[in-house]
Amino acid sequence: MTTRRIRRTTGAATTAAALAVVAACSAPTGGSDTGTGGGSAESVVIGVPTEPDTLSPLLGYGKDGNSKIFDGLLARDADLDLKPALAKALPEITDGGRTYTYTLRPGVKFSDGEPLTAEDVVHTYETVLDEKTNNTAKSELDAVEEVRADGDDKVVFTLKYPYAAFAARTVLPIVPEHITGEQDPNTGAFNTEPVGTGPYVLTGWSKGEKLTFKANPDYWGGAPKVKKLTMAIIADDDVRATRLRSGDLDGATLPPNLAATFEDDDGRTTYRATTYDFRAVTLPTANEVTGDTAIRRALDLAVDRRAMVDKILDGAGRPAYGPLPLDDPWYAEDIERPQDLAEAGKILDRAGWKTGRDGIRAKDGTRAAFTLFYPSGDKVRQDHALAYASDAKKAGIDVEVEGATWEVIEPRMGEDAVLAGFGSTGDPDFGLYTLLHSSLAGDGFNNMPHYDNPAVDEALETGRRSQDPDDRKAAYDDLQRALVKDPGYTFLTHIDHLYVLDDRWGDLTTQVEPHEHGFASGPWWNAEDWRPEK
């Protein structure tokens, strides 16, 4: 995996509608704290489209690293290689890969002044794994049989089976037992008033508006030069771009079409991060149309992925023929497939889906029609959904596209299709198990379509439990081929993430990123290490 800084970018006029919207919006901060171009390099305001539901690692926050408030035993560098964080070295691995021993870095304290101990680490993992804790990612730690403290500075994990990717799971942030041990992990105040060992301390959270952080002067890694960090929550892409252009923001996450409008701006740089982040349509098995394998296979062949990359992403992405990107070493080379409407039609004909007078197919009185939801305000997903519906209609399938809030979408995910986004960096087990394993059907955003394929389950278990790289590669190849024959999703594109940022800090980088981005990704993934441009 590589880190790439791409091109400089530029200002252009925005629409009157966007200007009207932004005029009604308050700034994320006031006065000199707005982070306008040319301002103090000690303060930065970033515009992101979403905010977390919780700031507690016990419920999943920061589980893949890069939390500004917390640290894990390990962390990832710019190239995603593991490095020590709260542990002073990489783990000692014994017993054929079933025992991992970590020695804690001495002198680390939580932001309230209490020392970090091995018991805090034990408490964190045991609470996440507790069946009473509402952490939908606990299956990621399925291999853990026991975690125990060996004195104040050693933590020993015993695994049920050798798990090749386990060390990467220990980027999980550590919480203070002296606080969270006295609270219900699902409802306690810690969820919005976190205390960690990280480079920043939360100073305020106005839901739907902003989160503010101040530098932790006693951070074990050294006090950050950026003293104040504000994450402004701006769901609308056009509004985010307008506020960046006006100087109300120092940086922002932007879709390709809006990032391109900054390409001639000498005061800002656009950063482009390659990702595992894909867009796909979930195809619920409980729906009488999307639950039909012939419909799913026809949709897979009907879509023009390359056109979506070129027209929707302006080339900032790649076609997705499955959940793993084309350049991933685990990608199965023989699964690429072009749009093939003729073959899609043959599959539907053989399955009894006959074309009606209106051009839409039907079978046993059921029209080949279903609703596809996308989250309102997400222009990229909306454009994917509309392109998908257009391609589907060419195959005789009627897809009604509807934008809605997640509050509306979530209760309907088991019955209706959703233009969804997923993708995890690191090991293929990290993203594929929760996406596809039948045991997680309908578990929050895990396995949203309730996909159930025994061959895929078997491949997932082999990939998770085997230590042999060749066996794991063969299992994941089998899985990807099985998804071509029996797709539970229509995979569309892997998207690059684009960020525009003022040039007040030097030598910034991006990482290869997962689906989740904004808070933990972009060129501010390591804001604690930034230095002012001289």
* pLDDT value at residue 519: 77
Residues 196 and 176: their CA atoms lie apart, in Å, by: 7
Same domain, 299 and 428: yes
Residues 6 or more apart whose Cβ sits within 8 Å of residue 297: 344, 347, 485, 486, 487
Specify if 3 maps to a domain.
no
Specify if 83 maps to a domain.
yes
Name the phi and psi angles at 281, rounded to 5: -100, 120
Same domain, 237 and 346: no
Helix (H, G, I), strand (E, B) or coil at 291: coil
Same domain, 491 and 459: yes
* pLDDT value at residue 104: 98
Specify if 140 maps to a domain.
yes
Same domain, 150 and 177: yes
Return the ∠ at Cα 383 (arms to 381 and 385), rounded to 5°: 70
pLDDT in tens, the chain (534 residues): 333 334 333 333 333 333 333 333 333 433 334 434 446 889 999 999 989 999 999 999 999 888 999 999 999 999 999 999 999 999 999 999 999 999 999 999 999 999 999 999 999 999 999 999 999 888 889 999 999 999 999 999 999 999 989 999 999 999 999 999 999 999 999 999 999 999 999 999 999 999 999 999 999 999 999 999 999 999 889 999 999 999 999 999 999 999 999 998 889 999 999 999 999 999 999 999 999 999 999 999 999 999 999 999 999 999 999 999 999 999 998 999 999 999 999 999 999 999 999 999 999 999 999 999 999 988 899 999 999 999 999 999 999 999 999 999 999 999 999 999 999 988 999 999 999 999 999 988 999 999 999 999 999 999 999 989 999 999 999 999 999 999 999 999 999 999 999 999 988 999 999 998 777 889 999 999 999 986
Specify if 384 maps to a domain.
yes
Token code pair at residue 37: 């171009």
Amino acid residing at 125: Y
* pLDDT value at residue 66: 86
Same domain, 73 and 112: yes
**Taking the model in full, what pTM does it have?**
0.84
Q: Which of 124, 152, 186 is the last residue of a domain?
A: 186
Same domain, 295 and 160: no
Provide DSSP, 185-246. TTTSGGGTS---SSSEEEEEEETTTEEEEEE-TT-TT---S--EEEEEE---HHHHHHHHHT
Specify if 484 maps to a domain.
yes
Q: What range does the domain containing 161 cover?
A: 57-186
Same domain, 164 and 43: no
* pLDDT value at residue 534: 64
Same domain, 463 and 341: yes
Same domain, 232 and 340: no
Domains identified in the chain, total number: 3
Same domain, 145 and 264: no
Local structure of residue 116 (DSSP, 8 states): P
Specify if 429 maps to a domain.
yes
Specify if 10 maps to a domain.
no
Residue 100 pairs in a beta bridge with 93, 157
Q: Is the separation of the CB atoms in 499 and 510 below 8 Å?
A: yes
Q: 154: domain CATH number? A: 3.90.76.10
Same domain, 353 and 484: yes
Q: Is the separation of the CB atoms in 488 and 449 below 8 Å?
A: yes
Q: How far apart are the first and last CA of the chain?
A: 30
* pLDDT value at residue 137: 85
* pLDDT value at residue 8: 33
Q: Which of 186, 219, 242 is the last residue of a domain?
A: 186
Specify if 265 maps to a domain.
yes
* pLDDT value at residue 39: 62
Q: 323: domain CATH number? A: 3.10.105.10
Letter string b/e over residues 464-484, b meaning 16 or more CB atoms within 10 A of that residue's CB: bbbeeeeebbbbbbbbbebbb
Q: 228: domain CATH number? A: 3.40.190.10
Same domain, 171 and 289: no
Residues 197 and 211: their CA atoms lie apart, in Å, by: 18
